[in-house]
Structure 1
Amino acid sequence: MSQRISTVAFIGLGVMGYPMAGHLARAGLTVRVYNRTAAKAAAWVAEHGGSHHDTPQAAATGADLVLVCVGNDDDVRQVTTGEHGALSGMAVGSLLVDHTTASAGLAEALDAACRERGVGFLDAPVSGGQQGAENGALTIMCGGDDADFAAAEPILSHYAQAVTLMGPAGSGQLTKMVNQICIAGLVQGLAEGLHFAEQAGLDRQRVVDVIAKGAAGSWQMENRHKTMIADEYEHGFAVDWMRKDLGICLEQARRLQARLPVTALVDQFYADVQAMGGGRWDTSSLLRRLRASDS
């Protein structure tokens, strides 16, 4: 893709997509949006300008770059290659970027579908959550070729603090899997540590103040310990979505013959949280599961 990107389409205005698209509008780009719930797209346009459209195809028509941020593989297929999907409205030489956390196989299939139409493609899942999206501080891991990455990177940087090309199509999704695998173990470890401190009669805040300065420190500890201590979980990245992501990780691991025993165990712990009615709780709610087992 050689032309300058001035018009973008953003497909999916959830808790991540809504603020991400907002950063693009504030950067002066012409933004065309589509959302399955049309009222949300209308609200976005009322706040940020641009235009909202009835189908992904209509939103993508005339856009230099189409960005997708939806729920799962099936959602991605529906808004890209399905009936009235974005690809059917995209011009030769334009570029499709998928921010959804999805499977590597889907990324490879989308890349092939885009190439057939003369459209560039990047799989570009993000990390940083709603807070990172709102603050323009996401981390984006991309799969695709150098030229498409070079074209997209300045646009993605409007809502990211780091944008990195990891390899060919699918590499972004594989890297996001590594991210989720690491988070699963970290959050369980933090939950167990806080639970142990509570049972030992320690001042949990003071414990965190001390150990966060050493090797135990992490983003999860810094950003989640206060709400975990307060037993508050009506925020953040939902358990339902984490289980979706870990399912992708475990399926890919089977294909690769990679062993993920801790990830598989934590996935089952999240199933317990779902059974407690916590599907929409933040992933740090693993601590509530431990507390429940004591009662």
Structure 2
Amino acid sequence: MAKVAFLGLGVMGYPMARHLAAKGHEVTVYNRTAEKADKWVSENGGWAARTPREAAEGQEIVFACVGNDDDLRQVTLGPDGAFHNLTAGSLFVDHTTASAEAARDLHAAAKQKGAAFVDAPVSGGQAGAENGVLTVMCGGDEEAYAKAEPVIMSFARACRLMGPAGAGQLTKMVNQICIAGLVQGLSEGIHFGKKAGLDIEAVLDVISKGAAGSWQMENRGKTMNQGKFDFGFAVDWMRKDLSIVLGEARKNGASLPITALVDQFYAEVQRMGGNRWDTSSLLARLEK
């Protein structure tokens, strides 16, 4: 069992940290809102720290799952950042969906302290975190990954090293590109089916068994048909992710016309007031 810290107790981090404690790891938690960290400790045991720096002291592995690049740099390199208390041989594992550039910078900063860094964004959403079945895509050194993987499996069903620092984040970008196109296609299919007077539940049931089937269809098709979007992965967060994707594409020369178009469709959903709606709300803009 490892002695670990977890920074960031949002909809993903809260259950991820809980799974670590349930597996017997010694867990110290930090959250920007201290009351949430105290609540987590009251439910799961362990300790609450008041700063990332305090949380990282004496830990074998420090996990983080925060909002974006700026948040990540603040909890790592800021005045009270965790990197101030990283020691030789310790490991920082970042589950934030962030840029590959941030991952490479933090990998280098950790190495200067004799520590290691693994970028490890996740897929599976809140339900995957709650049920401990996330997919984790990692970037970093093989030795660091080998240390991280068995602990990560406390809340994952799949975990794989994709390459050097930043490769985990790049793989997550591929994931978000694919999701954007899939949800738009599913939205158009449901919209078309309604206009054609079809029984959408029946349509989704039959085509999900064939080549059109996908996680999105299985898990979001029914709620999309019912016009329910007040749950799941928020449009604001998807736009943050797609901004990272499109920024990386400008650097590497990738052509992403569909991704750029769907990003603008999500901007329309935001203007409709759907900032916190699930990403499947692309259907709502077709039916407005």
- Give the aligned residue type for 2:225: I
C-alpha displacement of 1:110:
0.3
Counting matched residue pairs gives 288
TM-score by length of 1: 0.97
CA distance in 1 between partners of 2:11 and 2:179 (Å): 20
C-alpha displacement of 1:90:
1.7
C-alpha displacement of 1:109:
0.3
* 1:56 aligned residue: 52
Give SS of 1:10's match.
strand
Are 2:22 and 1:26 aligned? yes
C-alpha displacement of 1:23:
0.2
* 2:197 aligned residue: 201
CA distance in 1 between partners of 2:219 and 2:2 (Å): 36
Give SS of 2:162's match.
strand
Q: In the alignment, which of 165, 169, 172 is matched to residue 169 of structure 1?
A: 165
Large movers: runs of 4+ above 2 Å:
none
The one-character-per-residue Cα deviations of 1:180-229 (angstroms, maximum 9, x if unpaired) are 00000000000000000000000000000110000000000000011101
Give SS of 2:87's match.
coil
* 1:125 aligned residue: 121
Matches within 5 A, 1:163-242: 163-242=159-238
CA distance in 2 between partners of 1:92 and 1:42 (Å): 29
The one-character-per-residue Cα deviations of 1:96-138 (angstroms, maximum 9, x if unpaired) are 0000000000000000000000111100000000000011100
Are 2:287 and 1:291 aligned? yes
Give SS of 1:59's match.
helix
CA distance in 1 between partners of 2:143 and 2:52 (Å): 25
Give SS of 1:84's match.
coil
Q: Which runs of 5+ in 1 are unaligned?
A: none
* 1:276 aligned residue: 272
Alignment identity in percent? 65
TM-score by length of 2: 0.99
Give SS of 2:62's match.
strand
Q: Which runs of 5+ in 2 are unaligned?
A: none
Are 2:103 and 1:70 aligned? no
Q: In the alignment, which of 100, 108, 112 is matched to residue 112 of structure 1?
A: 108
The one-character-per-residue Cα deviations of 1:217-258 (angstroms, maximum 9, x if unpaired) are 000000001110110111000000000000000000000010
CA distance in 2 between partners of 1:30 and 1:210 (Å): 47
CA-based RMSD of the aligned residues comes to 0.5
C-alpha displacement of 1:89:
1.3
* 1:36 aligned residue: 32
* 2:152 aligned residue: 156
